[in-house]
Amino acid sequence: TDRWRGGTVFNWDFFQHIFSGSFKETRIVLLGKTGAGKSSTGNTILGEKKKKAFNVYSSPSSVTKECQKETCHLNDRKVTIIDTPGLFDTKLSDKDLKTEIEKCIMMSPPGPHIFLLVIRLGVRFTEEEKNTIKWIMKNFGEEVSKYTVVVFTRGDELEGTIESYLQKSEKLKKLIGDCAGRYVGSRLASWWVQIQTLVC
């Protein structure tokens, strides 16, 4: 069932499954283009106790050159977050990027529960980003899309709502559709509080 929570729509049943009592650890991999806000998203999830665990700078090239792993605990549950190099970073070849992201997946054995695909709103949505899910499925299997959630950043800088912005972009709607309609708007902190209630 899709529910609106804090201006954000996502499939609540999906997260109830991921954060069910059968999981003692939740493993999350952050994916996205350089400058999309992956590291900031990771820091938001980690919370105040590990503030700025992931380096954040304004740079046209990826700050994260290698996978970085951080963990936090929500009551008895361990949450592992892995930041990855920026997709389509010109300083990394496609082969090197794939190798590095493979390392990320190996850092979260036996595998991630969720891939968060971070997309920045308010800037041109490139052809590369449009094909991001295709790239991920090509390199890591079609099953990946079933466990991917699109996270939109900088939504608070839009003149209107995120929903009205998305309605104007067929490319973004297609991307969300490729992820079974799962997306989170700019109020990630509010969304994460809701997710934490499943853990408590």
More reliable by pLDDT, 48 or 11:
48
CATH number at residue 33: 3.40.50.300
**pLDDT higher for 3 or 70?**
70
In a domain, 17, yes or no: no
- Residue 154 domain-assigned (yes or no): yes
In the chain, how many domains are there? 1
Show the domain range for 37. 23-199
Q: Is residue 169 part of a domain?
A: yes
Q: What is the DSSP string of 38-69?
A: HHHHHHHHH-GGGTT-S-----SS-S--S-EE
Q: Is residue 102 part of a domain?
A: yes
Residue 99 lies in a domain: yes
> 11 or 179: which carries more pLDDT confidence?
179
pLDDT in tens, 35-86: 888 888 888 777 765 556 666 554 544 455 678 888 888 767 788 888 887 7
Arithmetic mean of pLDDT, 3-20: 46
Signed CA dihedral, 94, 97, 103, 107: sign only: negative
What's the pTM? 0.76
**Residue 7 covered by a domain:** no
Angle at 86 between CA 80 and CA 87, to 5 degrees: 110
Cα(52)–Cα(169) distance, rounded to whole angstroms?
32
In a domain, 3, yes or no: no
| Centroid of chain to Cα 69 | 14
In a domain, 28, yes or no: yes
